[in-house]
Structure formats: C-alpha cells, structure tokens
Amino acid sequence: MLVCDWGTSSFRLMRVSASGEILAQVATDQGVKQLNPEDMEAYLKAQMVTLGSITAPVVLCGMVGSGIGWYEVPYVTCPASVKSLSAALVRIPQTDLNAWCVPGVKLTSSQGDADVMRGEETQIIGWLTQASERERTNSTLCLPGTHSKWAHVEGAEICEFSTAFTGEMYALLNDHSVLVQGAQVACDNAFDAGLAASTDGAGLIHQLFNARSRSVLGLQSASASASYLSGLLIGSEVAGVAKKLSPGAVVHVICGDYLAEPYLKALTHFGLRGMHYSGSTYSALGLRAIAEARDLM
Amino acid sequence: MLVCDWGTSSFRLMRVSASGEILAQVATDQGVKQLNPEDMEAYLKAQMVTLGSITAPVVLCGMVGSGIGWYEVPYVTCPASVKSLSAALVRIPQTDLNAWCVPGVKLTSSQGDADVMRGEETQIIGWLTQASERERTNSTLCLPGTHSKWAHVEGAEICEFSTAFTGEMYALLNDHSVLVQGAQVACDNAFDAGLAASTDGAGLIHQLFNARSRSVLGLQSASASASYLSGLLIGSEVAGVAKKLSPGAVVHVICGDYLAEPYLKALTHFGLRGMHYSGSTYSALGLRAIAEARDLM
C-alpha cells in the first residue's frame, strides 16, 4: 500500500510493506503551501504513477487534511490513540483514488489553552508501534520543526501536547530582524553561548537583543549570530519543558537529522537524555498502523 | 538652541528655550533607516531652515550617531550620567554646521551579557532633570519602543539597563507569521487574555502558538489575534522585570501616547504602578541638559 506524509512545506509518498518498511518513496518540497488545493489530487496521482501504483489505497496525514490542504478533516480530541485516529479516518470524496486522510488532534483546556497538531500524531503512533511496554506506558516526546510539538504519552495514548514556535521564530528572525546580519557560519561556541543565555535574566524577550549587542560590541562575530540565536531559541524551548521533568529523564526526539544534533545538545545541557528517531520512518509506521486498524491493508 | 532626536525610523528637530521648553518643532518619519548617510547633513539643514535657525548650535541624539547614521560616536560605558555623556559629546567634523552628537551607552558584564542604547539615555537624562531627589536616588524606568529599554537609576546615574525585543518581535509576527491573519480590530478582551497567558506554562516560545490555535479552534476571532499577541509579548516583557521588583513598585514609563496605554495596563496586571511621561518632551530636556553641561547653550 501507499502512505503519504504531506505537510506545509514537504511531500513524501512511500510504498510500504505489510510490516511498515519503506520499499520506495518520492520526497519533494511541494508542501500544501506550494500548491493550490485544486491541483493537489493531480500532483498526488503523478507521484503515484512514479511509484507504479495508481490503484492502490493511499493513506495521507499532515496539513493536506487542513483548511489549506486538499480536503479538510475534523480534528479528534486529545487523548488520541490509534483507535480514535483510525475510527476518524476520512475517505476523500469526489476522486477516483482510494484515498484516506488521518485527522489532526486538538486539545483545549478549561484555562483557555488551545493547541492543534496535524501529522505529528501519526509519527507518534508510529513510534508507539516500536516502543517497549514501559515506554508506551509513560513517555515524553519532542518533534522539532517549524512548530515543535512536545507530547506526553500514557497508556499508549497521546494524552497531552503543546507547541513551541521555535522553528518559525528562528526563520523570521533570520530573514527579517536586526539580530542576524550578513553571511553566517555554523559556530558551535556561539550555539553553546546561546544555550547558556537562554535561562539567564528575565526571559526570552529580554535575551534576544543580546544577539545584536554582542555583535555591535565585538564580543561575537556577526557571522556567528544565527548560531547564537539558534542556541537561545532551542534552549528556551527545552528549558521550559525541562523544569517540569525529572533530571535525567528520557526525551524521545522524532525529526530529520539536521535538527537532531542541536536538540540533543540542548537536552543534554538541561540534564535530560535525548534519543533520536528518524521522522519519515515513523510517519510510514504510523500511517500503516492507522490503516491496519481500519482494515485498509 | 536646536536639539534633534534622530532615531532609526523618526526625525524630530526642536527649538528649545533656555529652560528646555519646546518652542517649535519639525517631526517626520525620515529616520536614519530611510536616508543615505551622505544625505543626512542636507536633510538636517533643510529642516533647520524650516525652523529659521541655520547658524544655531544643534545637539543630536539617537541612531544618527551610530554606524548606520551620519557620524559614528563611540559609546560611553555604563554607569552613565549627564557628566559622562556631555564630556563625550562629539562635534561632527567636515560640516559648516555647529553640530554635536550625544554618544550612546554600552554595558558589558563578566557573564558575557552585552547591551547598547542610543537616544534613550538622553530621555532618561531629561527625566532626571524633572525628578524628585528621591526618584533620582533610586528609580526604575521603562522606555517602550521597537527595542524597549529598562533602566535602573541610582544616584542620578544610569547604572544598569537591558533591552526587550518586544516591538520588533510584534512587527515581525504581525507582518510575516501564521499567528496573525486577516484584518485586525483592537480588542481589549484579547489583549487581557494575552497578558494572562504570558505567565502560563513553559514560557513565551511555548505560548506564542496559542494565538493561532485559539483562532483555528474558534475560541477567538481571527481579527483579535494581534491584540492577543500584543498582550502576550508586552506581558512577557513586564513579567520578566516584575519578578525582580517589589509589589507596588513605581515604574516610570517614557514613550509616545499609543504605547502608554498597553504598558500601563500590563504594569497594573503585574502589581506595579506605571507613571507615563511623553517621549519627545524628555528628549528635548535631556539634550538641553547635556548641552548645558558642556557650555554649549
């Protein structure tokens, strides 16, 4: 069967075996942000042709099921499990494809907190298929990205989650602010200094300008300011969670390789233990598990 | 004499009396960001003509004395006073104008913190000319803006300060992020909800996405998201300082009228007492005081 993780800025169609192993795949930068909704079906078909399977059932997850995607699928309410997600799978209407879409998950609290995810729930379900019984009972997961998700799993359910704005904030500051200027080079020392500064003083909004002041006063080369900022933002994200966890607690980190290194470093800095899992593998496993629970295999 | 507060995004030339009262002024949006450095002298001359005083001494402060301004004036080191600032006044060379520029102030700590200001030091000096003896001895000041400054005054000196990135952050999120979408209306309730949320949970980077989730889930109209965000950011800024101050402490707020209301509201929310002073009045008073200390009057 085919499974597809179609997010805001990326597309990945995979042919998977009965055990969820990826046999072939097409990965592009054609996220739902890059396409008009009316062009998405044709785009998917063309990639299915590439993988040689135009008639196979295909199960999708991610922003493709949002208001800016191909077809909007209502959220399920947290806590969410493979059972509730598969029960709420929607067959996409008005297409000759046998296409199904996984819902996102929403969370609201009596204090007025609100949060949503689309796509990450599927990676968490995938991770649960490989987790030990103990891990399925009680685990903390981090899914870094444009909007990082932190989730708590209990009894094999996603029982709580929250979103950190780190990735989009970094991109905004990098592209448009006075904090980062000129050509940048990766700089481990500056990243570490940003991590250390993230818990200083009066909080992030007071710390950000440091990135500029350090350059202006020659304490840091301007070319290292993006690394400093990355440390400051990821440090701020991890520090906020670390204070609620026990020292030495394990955090399961699901993401692409390039984000794994800074997040693992930040987790270590705050006395936590990070374990990294590759994002696309767990999307495939999750989509397969949700499809199987609905007897679509 | 003439005094001029020339910042990144605004220009204000004022003719002041011997007591520092503003007799006439020209205020435009031609900040140093809008002009080439080589055009700044001519621009200033044209405005001096408008005020009828091309031969009078003119004392400037703000980003006009920075690397992106007309002529770069080195920072003085914190603690700074009317004495140290006037001693470091620089007469701008290679012009037939009798033009002087106030230096900015820099602060570095042994922990690697660094901060800079240009322009706000002059407003603080202006405020000190009007302050009571008790206020001159020990006061906390807040100067909201693109980069808000928080300063501590002791013994009529600026003895410590820090910068909050609130204004630029708000503009970035408003212009470029997914958090604010569509036409906006001012909304007091949403501002208050943002204030309340600013101290919840795991910190700002975790709270920001709430602005979007609340809209997506229909808990808040999309048109109120900018007000929510404003409350969240200003709340985050004030909360970070409030935890270091005594309950009921007075904060002297120097800024234009449109920023006064949200800041005073946030200060009240966090148990502090805000007193507002109009920004341009205090620039004029500060420039006059620094000029007088150098016998330029």
Q: Please give the Cα distance from A283 to A255 (Å, whole number).
A: 10
pLDDT at A172 over 80: yes
pLDDT at B110 over 90: no
Q: Which domains does chain B have, with CATH numbers?
A: 2-132+280-293 (3.30.420.300), 166-277 (3.30.420.310)
**What's the whole-number mean pLDDT along residues B267-292?**
95
Nearest to A114 among B116, B175, B210 (CB): B210
Nearest to B205 among A115, A166, A213 (CB): A166
pLDDT at B225 over 80: yes
pLDDT at B182 over 90: no
Decide the pairing of beta strands A138-143 and A148-154. antiparallel
Angle A39-A41-A44 from CA coordinates, rounded to 5°: 105
Runs of H (alpha helix) within A198-242: 204-207, 210-216, 225-242
At A79 the pLDDT is 97
Angle B200-B203-B205 from CA coordinates, rounded to 5°: 125
Mutant choice from A178, A205, A233, A243 vs B, greatest count of B C-beta within 10 A: A205
A178 falls in which pLDDT band (50, 70, 90)? confident
Which residues of A, range 54-113, sit inside 8 Å of B by Cβ? 106, 108, 111-113
pLDDT at A58 over 80: yes
Q: Tell me how long chain B is.
A: 297
What contacts A46, CB < 8 A, 6 or more positions away?
A: none
First to last CA, chain B: 7
At A111 the pLDDT is 73
From the CB of residue A176, how many other CB atoms can be counted at a distance below 10 Å? 14
Which residue has tokens 């481990």? Answer: A188
At B113 the pLDDT is 77
pLDDT at A99 over 90: yes
Q: Rounded to the nearest 10 degrees, how much is the dihedral formed by the CA atoms of A90, A95, A99, A104?
A: -40
Verify whether the Cβ–Cβ distance B173 to A172 is below 8 Å.
yes
Verify whether the Cβ–Cβ distance A219 to B175 is below 8 Å.
no
Q: Which helix (H) or strand (E) holds B188?
A: helix B188-197
Verify whether the Cβ–Cβ distance A164 to B217 is below 8 Å.
no
B233 falls in which pLDDT band (50, 70, 90)? very high
**What's the whole-number mean pLDDT along residues A160-182?**
90
- Looking at chain B, the number of H-run helices and the number of E-run strands are 11, 14
Residues in A closer than 8 angstroms to B147, CB to CB, are 209
In 3D, which of B180, B150, B160, B172 has the Cα closest to residue B240?
B150
pLDDT at B280 over 90: no
Which residues of A, range 163-182, sit inside 8 Å of B by Cβ? 163-166, 168-169, 172-173, 175-179
Q: Strand, helix or coil at B183?
A: coil
A105/chain B closest Cα distance in angstroms: 11
**Model ipTM value:** 0.85
B80 falls in which pLDDT band (50, 70, 90)? very high
pLDDT at B183 over 80: no
**What's the whole-number mean pLDDT along residues A137-165?**
96
Let me know if A51 is exposed, middle or buried by CB neighbors in 10 A (0-12, 13-18, 19+).
middle
Q: Please give the Cα distance from A9 to B156 (Å, whole number).
A: 54
Which residues of B, range 104-143, sit inside 8 Å of A by Cβ? 106, 108, 111-116
| pLDDT tens per residue across span B203-217 | 899 889 988 888 888
At B140 the pLDDT is 98
Q: Please give the Cα distance from B262 to B264 (Å, whole number).
A: 6
